[in-house]
Structure 1
Amino acid sequence: MRIVIADDHAVVRSGFSMILNFQEDMEVVATAADGREAFQMVAKHEPDVLLLDISMPPGESGLIATGKIKEAFPDTKILILTMFDDDEYLFYLLKSGANGYILKNSPDEELVSAIRMVHNGGTYIDPKLASTLVNELINPTDGNETSDPFKILTKRELEILPLVARGYGNKDISEKLFISVKTVEAHKSRIMSKLGFKSRPELVDYAIKKKLMDL
């Protein structure tokens, strides 16, 4: 099976490449440092499986890239590779089309097994997170959805919110995301309205609490 690895750390890309290339049925055909580069490598190599990290600052995150890649290349299986064990990320990524979710500190043999599972059409959830998923399916929460950014905000708004929180101006954001300044202003207004905020400090505090700063 052909594999692309996307992670912002070169040592991680190199290490996982060695592990996977050692397997008789696996070949790492390309690596990427962020979500946009991952999209390009998937477009170029059409891999069977994409190992995709969630947080890849300062580039595009896996949270944002997952939906884009899955929509454009539905045949490529996406296995999320991350240090985070936050169930909010888990649900959002699965809804965006991810085929599995594994923590970076998992044993090598578990990573290899997870790749084979998603390649064969299965869904792999790290055992540390499986109980969280089962509990949510059995007892879905019905609280205030505005507390969950992954339910209330669009993908584009999730891209813009952390940039605003980090202090980027409208022009900077427009250049980063290749959209107009007016579009940025419109998205910022909708974000503030949806979350019920009146000031930027409120937005910054929210972004920190929700672990959105690395998106």
Structure 2
Amino acid sequence: MKKIMIMHPCIVTWHGLYQLFRRKLPDAEIVPAHSIYDLVFNDDLSDVDLIVSELYGLNENITMGVKLLSFVQSVRQDKPLLIMTDVPGQQVLDYPGYLPGASYIALSEDIRQLVNQVDRVLAGNIVISPSLRREQEIRLFNVDARPFSRSEIKVYSLLQEGFSISQIAKKISRSVKTVSAHKRNMMGKLGIESEVELYACFNQ
């Protein structure tokens, strides 16, 4: 692998992941990211051989993070995605339908186990940490949902920052009607029916 992008909102954890992958792949270019939006809007996204990411970023809750990662994977034509997460297992495995083929490693794993699992991913295997598995069948979360479009991502981000529909329309040079349609589409994709639920997503 020639190019790896590592995304984690915690700078300390990011440096730990950087050191791990630097030791494993000393010749690889390692690109930093602290927000999943950094991944989405990276011009070289299709050239990245492996993305290592948490399920949330500096500006994204888990629900939004998974949606954005789904979009990232659609652009990358399903190149390897490794989720290295501190999110509890039951919550993590609510989302595999969005990210088929991704590997999931718990950051809480014993270091030897964690390194062994990373080695298996680098060898081309799909890995799910034993500590993330549940005994009962994994319940897929809204498997048929489609990822957000780039325009929807932009609108979501501006809504999250507190801009009104009319302000967003001016900012992105679109009509109020178009921005409202993007908002309705996003709510449908998130499986929510009210603006209250949408704004609650921003604060999860």
Range with bigger deviation, 152-161 or 2-11: 152-161
Following TM superposition, by how much is the alpha carbon of 1:90 offset from its aligned partner in structure 2, in angstroms?
2.9
Identify the residue that residue 74 of structure 1 maps to in structure 2.
77
Instruction: Say whether residues 1:64 and 2:67 are aligned partners.
Output: yes
Following TM superposition, by how much is the alpha carbon of 1:73 offset from its aligned partner in structure 2, in angstroms?
1.9
Following TM superposition, by how much is the alpha carbon of 1:186 offset from its aligned partner in structure 2, in angstroms?
1.5
Measure the CA separation in 2 of the matches of 1:51 and 1:176: 32
Q: Percent identity?
A: 19
Following TM superposition, by how much is the alpha carbon of 1:174 offset from its aligned partner in structure 2, in angstroms?
5.8
- Which AA in structure 1 matches 2:112? E
Q: Is contact 1:5-1:32 (8 Å) kept?
A: yes
Measure the CA separation in 1 of the matches of 2:78 and 2:117: 17
Measure the CA separation in 2 of the matches of 1:84 and 1:42: 29
Q: Spell out the pairing of 1:92-103 with structure 2 (5 A cutoff).
A: 92-103=95-106
Measure the CA separation in 2 of the matches of 1:101 and 1:25: 23
Range with bigger deviation, 27-36 or 171-180: 171-180
Identify the residue that residue 213 of structure 1 maps to in structure 2.
203
Structure with greater helix share of residues: 1
Measure the CA separation in 2 of the matches of 1:94 and 1:213: 23
- Cα deviation digits, residues 78-106 of structure 1 (max 9, x gap): 01122212645434345334521122222
Identify the residue that residue 195 of structure 1 maps to in structure 2.
192
Measure the CA separation in 2 of the matches of 1:178 and 1:68: 23
Instruction: Say whether residues 1:184 and 2:185 are aligned partners.
Output: no
Structure 1 counterpart SS, 2:148: helix
- Which AA in structure 2 matches 1:125? I
Show structure 2 runs of 5+ residues with no match: none
Measure the CA separation in 2 of the matches of 1:25 and 1:34: 24
Range with bigger deviation, 29-38 or 81-90: 81-90
- Which AA in structure 2 matches 1:213? N
Following TM superposition, by how much is the alpha carbon of 1:170 offset from its aligned partner in structure 2, in angstroms?
1.9
CA gap 1:21/1:202 in 2 versus in 1, 3 angstroms? closer
Structure 2 counterpart SS, 1:51: strand
Could you state the TM-score of these two structures normalised by the residue count of structure 1? 0.66
Measure the CA separation in 1 of the matches of 2:59 and 2:10: 12
Identify the residue that residue 38 of structure 1 maps to in structure 2.
39
- Which AA in structure 2 matches 1:156? F
Measure the CA separation in 1 of the matches of 2:118 and 2:54: 14
Structure 2 counterpart SS, 1:128: helix
Measure the CA separation in 2 of the matches of 1:40 and 1:104: 26
Q: Spell out the pairing of 1:169-180 with structure 2 (5 A cutoff).
A: 169-171=164-166
Identify the residue that residue 16 of structure 1 maps to in structure 2.
17
How many residue pairs get matched?
Answer: 196
Could you state the TM-score of these two structures normalised by the residue count of structure 2? 0.69
Following TM superposition, by how much is the alpha carbon of 1:109 offset from its aligned partner in structure 2, in angstroms?
2.9
Show structure 1 runs of 5+ residues with no match: 142-147
Identify the residue that residue 145 of structure 1 maps to in structure 2.
none
Q: Is contact 1:48-1:76 (8 Å) kept?
A: yes
Measure the CA separation in 2 of the matches of 1:172 and 1:179: 10
- Which AA in structure 1 matches 2:53? L
Measure the CA separation in 1 of the matches of 2:193 and 2:41: 37
CA gap 1:156/1:18 in 2 versus in 1, 3 angstroms? same
Following TM superposition, by how much is the alpha carbon of 1:40 offset from its aligned partner in structure 2, in angstroms?
5.7
